[in-house]
Chains A and B, each alone.
Chain A
Amino acid sequence: MNEISLNLWNWLLAFTPIIIILVLMLWRRWGASKAGGFALLVTLLIAWLRFGAPFELLAYAQVKALLLALDVLWIIWNALILFHLTRQAGAIDKIGKTLSNLTPDRTLQALILGWVFPSFLQGMDGFGIPVAVSAPLLISLGFTPIHAVLITSIGHSWAVTFGSMASSFQILIAVTGLPGEVLAPFSLLLLGVACYVCGLIVAYLSDGWAGLKRNFSAILILATVMAFTQYVVATYIVYNLAATLAGVMGLLTSIAITGWQSRKNHAANGHVGKDLASAFSSYIILVVMALIINLVPPIKTFLSQVNITLNFPEVQTSLGWLVPAGSGRILKPFSHPGSIILYASVASYFLFKHFNLLPKGSLKSVFQRLASAAEKSSAGIITMVTLSVVMTDSGMNQLLAVGLSQSFGAFFYPLAAPLIAALGAFITGSNSNANVLFAVLQMNTAQLLNISVPLILAAQTAGGALGSVISPAKVIVGCSTVGLSGEEGRVMPKILLYGLIPIMTVGLLAFLLQWLAL
């Protein structure tokens, strides 16, 4: 038996950890590590007492969660090193000043630094880096820390599935067994529409309706360029670079738009390209290294030789829920995205040192800031990921998804599919993990309900992408980089409010496509 009986009592108990996180963070305004720790203890009790999880299951879940958390933390720690090193060299201030000179329009600044630039970064690495890098830049332009986190989080969400070298999309292919050519078109269509919505939200957040109306044509142009590029690259060239190249095209279009506006306004706009290129030098190094390591097979093979993982035995709950034996998260220390950022940091350090850009004691300052930021956010990520693994391994997540899918029925299911995915992403903080959790369930449900499988899976991955940025785990990372650690509860209500808009749009579009177009 691998089924837990679905009844209201069991479903409500499975939903309790999520309710606790929401209540503690939204109402009590607790920080993520405190809320996550408390919710973890309650989840362990529910998993043990109601879902029959034995001690071995809970203990192994802790170890599995640590492997998953390390996968994310290694990236965050190194991104913080690169960012603070770049800041010590004065490049972050230079980007802020250059972009201020590029355009005086607050909304256009937000669109470039909070929508286009983080989308480009998401293409390369993701895992919280887009917010970690872009939010402080917005603050340097005068945005409040809360607005900086909101804008950058919502801004890059459309690029998550095909970002991080399309890792979430590759997982969707792997778990469903369907070819990428079948899954890509609908996924790209839904995420393309989400790109427009994200741009509109960023414009609204930066300067209200006035900013949105003033830059409406720029939003349409940028969204069309990025969504179209992502569609063409993923469909006809290679999935892995779709979001990256969409971001590159978005940045080039941004420079063209601001150049055109400055000519129109007779403003000086000289040396912008050169200034930006020098200011972005450490990130250009990162892009080049990531491209080389990911796209040159001998280098990728060489660096991927060392794998670290742990094997876990089969465990079963007293209710019959079976967790099969298998390895945990496989860590590749030398080709890991976090390691690539570390290589770029080392190269940037020598570059900055060569040009005498680093003041004395800057390396010590970088590591002090790293320790300060990391110790605040890391514990929160560990507790949240552990909670998610305990919920998965004790069968609570599966019960939640089955209950949700049965409640909606065939007609409304396309509306519900991205919400289910977003729930998975909210719990796990990851589009990839949401796809691991719910993609097969969504596929099976779509087959049972006789509705389009590729469309429902597209809604799954799009909902997971858009939902991942509103998850507590991602909010912790964003807050830790703008000095809001421990104050995640202030950000959560707003990010939920605005983050649900693109998710609902995707649901509505999937609903219309299913019942009108197909």
Chain B
Amino acid sequence: MKQKSEQNTSPFPIRLLLLAVLLILPFALYYALQVGHQWLGAILYAVLLLCVVLLILIN
């Protein structure tokens, strides 16, 4: 029962976490591009896209 209850509640914090990443990461991406760190921007953008993929998978 406990395991089932945890399974039922687990998507909630994941979605909230993904939302937080979608809200915060673009600002870091902007900063990376502004200071000319293209490689860092590329990594951050890849993480953002990964979050979008996760968003599709968990919904």
Contacts and interface: CB of A to CB of B under 8 A. Distances in A.
A159 B32 CA distance: 42
Interface string B30-54: 1001000010011001001100110
Nearest to B30: A63
A479 to B, nearest CB: 13
Contact of A34 (B22, B45, B48, B55): B55
Contacts of A66: 22-23, 26-27
Contacts of A30: 59
Interface string A48-83: 000000011011101101100010000000000000
Contacts of A374: 19
B26 to A, nearest CB: 4
A30 B41 CA distance: 31
A486 interface: yes
Contact of A379 (B30, B48, B49, B55): B55
Interface in A368-407: 371-372, 374-376, 378-379, 382-383
Contacts of A38: 56
In this complex, the interface size class of chain B, counting residues with CB under 8 Å from chain A, is 20 to 34
Contact of A383 (B16, B27, B41, B52): B52
A141 to B, nearest CB: 31
A63 B27 CA distance: 7
**Main SS class of interface, A:** helix
Contacts of B42: 55
Given A31-B59, A33-B59, A60-B30, A378 B52 contact: no
Nearest to B29: A59
Contacts of B48: 62
Nearest to A70: B23
Contacts of B38: 55
Given A371-B16, A486-B59, A55 B45 contact: yes
Contact of A375 (B19, B29, B30): B19
Interface string B12-32: 100110110011001101100
A31 to B, nearest CB: 6
B59 A41 contact: no
A195 interface: no
A462 interface: no
- Closest 9 A/B residue pairs (Cβ): A34-B59, A66-B26, A63-B30, A37-B56, A63-B26, A37-B52, A37-B55, A375-B16, A375-B15
Interface of B: 12, 15-16, 18-19, 22-23, 26-27, 29-30, 33, 38, 41-42, 45, 48-49, 52-53, 55-56, 59
7 contacts: A37-B53, A37-B55, A37-B59, A62-B48, A371-B16, A374-B19, A378-B23
